[in-house]
Amino acid sequence: MNTIEVRLGERGYPIHIGPGLLADEELLGRCTAARQILVVSNETVAPLYLERVSAAFADRTCRALILPDGEEHKNLETFARVIDALIAAAFHRDACIAALGGGVVGDLAGFAAACYQRGIELLQLPTTLLAQVDSSVGGKTAVNHPAAKNMIGAFHQPVAVIADTDTLKSLPARELAAGLAEVIKYGLIEDAPFLAWLEDELETLRRLDGAAMTRAIARCCEIKAAIVAEDEREHGRRALLNLGHTFGHAIEALGGYGKWLHGEAVAIGIGMAAELSVGLGLIGAAEAGRVRMLLERAGLPTTAAGLTADGIMDRMRLDKKAGSRGLKLILLERLGKAAVMPAPDAALVREAIERCLGPAP
């Protein structure tokens, strides 16, 4: 087991990474002292792992809430179901929500934990690659609005993250690829040697080699933990973690939160950010091609078929990262180093988007 610490003083917590961790009742049990536990999961994950997680809390009051699967259910209506379950079980302020699932479950359950009685404990038990390397770490919780992604949320750090790498064996290939988009993102923004390693080992990762996957997850978590410790509430450097996300969130919203998985939309968005970086003279076309090639080798889309540049730009204006001074974008100064920059001239943004649009279906 690898353990990485998120250093946030009294709000700090460990990230445990390794195989078989959800079956480690002692580990789960010591992550929270709460006597009331609500395990929030979904219809896909619960049949696989709920029983073993519940067993770790057999000596406490443990309830389960199983939600429908899919990004389209990450909304206020489903959030209300979690709150209703907590109230129906008469859970107190010293209770804990254990989020067992992917990014949707973690974000939604985390937001409920942030809001219930002004905040209760949250234990993140991510079961997808995307959640293990990104969404379970850092304390961002949210639900979507029909017009824009993650518009309703709060910062709420977990008490611990337990990333059981064995859960990745049950992922469909498409879900695994979606997680690799976030893994690639970390190399692009912060670590050129890690990016080169990914280029060499991508097929090994897609085969779910245990040692390679643990190394990739650990490196992503190390990068995120360091950034979050420096900028917990995204006033500066933490925005780097949003490479591709402003474009990607717009693509997800236009697809009704169902056509593209989050990682797929982010992959397309990373391609758009790379093309815009070329347009601004920050990187060369060959480097943007290298980015696109890596995403495609990971099994990810790099074009947004059927969308328009104007439609994407309209949705980008609703992005939660837009401020009174306008929209900021994360662009590549080179492969392995990203920067937060004010959005350039709209014509340049449109051209970059258009280079990543596929034919209408």
pLDDT tier for residue 323 given thresholds of 50, 70 and 90:
low
Q: Catalytic residue, from 219, 238, 292, 315: name it.
A: 238
d(C-alpha 130, C-alpha 141), whole Å:
15
Known active-site residue 121: no
d(C-alpha 53, C-alpha 100), whole Å:
9
Classify residue 269: in a domain, yes or no. Answer: yes
Q: What average pLDDT does range 214-240 have in this prediction?
A: 95
- How close are the terminal C-alpha atoms of the chain, in Å? 45
Give me the amino acid identity at 279: G
Q: Catalytic residue, from 140, 156, 185, 219: name it.
A: 140
Same domain, yes or no, for 122 and 139? yes
Q: Catalytic residue, from 149, 185, 262, 315: name it.
A: 262
Known active-site residue 238: yes
Residue ending a domain, among 115, 140, 170, is: 170
Q: Is 355 helix (H, G, I), strand (E, B) or coil?
A: coil
Question: What is residue 316's predicted lDDT score, i.e. its pLDDT?
Answer: 93
Classify residue 10: in a domain, yes or no. Answer: yes
Classify residue 359: in a domain, yes or no. Answer: no
**Under a CB-based contact definition with an 8 Å cutoff, are residues 28 and 162 in contact?**
yes
Question: What is residue 214's predicted lDDT score, i.e. its pLDDT?
Answer: 95
* pLDDT tens-digit series, residues 45-76: 999 999 999 999 999 999 999 999 999 999 99
Residue ending a domain, among 170, 201, 227, is: 170
Q: Catalytic residue, from 16, 149, 224, 315: name it.
A: 224
Same domain, yes or no, for 66 and 200? no
Question: What is residue 317's predicted lDDT score, i.e. its pLDDT?
Answer: 87
Q: What average pLDDT does range 200-213 have in this prediction?
A: 96
Residue ending a domain, among 153, 170, 187, is: 170
Question: What is residue 325's predicted lDDT score, i.e. its pLDDT?
Answer: 63
Burial class (CB in 10 A: 0-12, 13-18, 19+), 215: middle
Q: Give me the chain's average pLDDT, please.
A: 95
Classify residue 361: in a domain, yes or no. Answer: no
d(C-alpha 181, C-alpha 202), whole Å:
11
The CATH number linked to 56 is 3.40.50.1970
User: What does pTM read for this prediction?
Assistant: 0.94
* pLDDT tens-digit series, residues 112-142: 999 999 999 999 999 999 999 999 999 999 9
Same domain, yes or no, for 161 and 299? no
d(C-alpha 207, C-alpha 213), whole Å:
9
Q: Is 162 helix (H, G, I), strand (E, B) or coil?
A: strand
Burial class (CB in 10 A: 0-12, 13-18, 19+), 236: exposed
Same domain, yes or no, for 139 and 206? no
pLDDT at 359 over 80: no
> In the structure encoding, which two tokens stand for residue 126, read together?
């991510």
Q: Is 38 helix (H, G, I), strand (E, B) or coil?
A: strand
Q: What average pLDDT does range 164-169 have in this prediction?
A: 97
| Rounded (to 5) percent helix, strand, coil in the chain | 50, 20, 30
Question: What is residue 326's predicted lDDT score, i.e. its pLDDT?
Answer: 75
pLDDT at 234 over 60: yes
Known active-site residue 140: yes
> In the structure encoding, which two tokens stand for residue 284, read together?
């060369």
Q: What average pLDDT does range 316-321 have in this prediction?
A: 77
- 106: enclosing H helix or E strand: helix 103-115
Q: Catalytic residue, from 10, 26, 77, 118: name it.
A: 118
Q: Catalytic residue, from 175, 222, 232, 234: name it.
A: 234
Classify residue 360: in a domain, yes or no. Answer: no
> In the structure encoding, which two tokens stand for residue 146, read together?
């029909």
Known active-site residue 233: no
* pLDDT tens-digit series, residues 89-112: 999 999 999 999 999 999 999 999
Q: How many domains does the chain have?
A: 2
Q: Count of CB atoms within 10 A of residue 337's CB?
A: 15
Same domain, yes or no, for 163 and 180? no
Q: Catalytic residue, from 150, 242, 275, 292: name it.
A: 242
Same domain, yes or no, for 62 and 198? no
Same domain, yes or no, for 278 and 350? yes
H helices of 168-304, in order, are 173-190, 192-206, 210-230, 245-254, 262-279, 285-297
**Under a CB-based contact definition with an 8 Å cutoff, are residues 40 and 99 in contact?**
yes
Known active-site residue 249: yes
> In the structure encoding, which two tokens stand for residue 121, read together?
């404990």
Known active-site residue 156: no
Same domain, yes or no, for 78 and 61? yes
Q: Is 334 helix (H, G, I), strand (E, B) or coil?
A: strand
Question: What is residue 172's predicted lDDT score, i.e. its pLDDT?
Answer: 95
Domain holding 10, by residue range, is 2-170
Classify residue 239: in a domain, yes or no. Answer: yes
The CATH number linked to 343 is 1.20.1090.10
Question: What is residue 284's predicted lDDT score, i.e. its pLDDT?
Answer: 98
Known active-site residue 262: yes
Same domain, yes or no, for 198 and 235? yes
Known active-site residue 224: yes
Burial class (CB in 10 A: 0-12, 13-18, 19+), 35: middle
Q: Catalytic residue, from 245, 264, 275, 292: name it.
A: 245
Q: Catalytic residue, from 71, 121, 175, 182: name it.
A: 182
pLDDT at 321 over 80: no
Q: Catalytic residue, from 249, 264, 275, 315: name it.
A: 249
pLDDT tier for residue 309 given thresholds of 50, 70 and 90:
very high
Known active-site residue 175: no
Classify residue 16: in a domain, yes or no. Answer: yes
Classify residue 44: in a domain, yes or no. Answer: yes
Question: What is residue 360's predicted lDDT score, i.e. its pLDDT?
Answer: 55
d(C-alpha 251, C-alpha 144), whole Å:
14
Question: What is residue 147's predicted lDDT score, i.e. its pLDDT?
Answer: 86
pLDDT at 292 over 60: yes
Same domain, yes or no, for 162 and 240? no
pLDDT at 148 over 70: yes
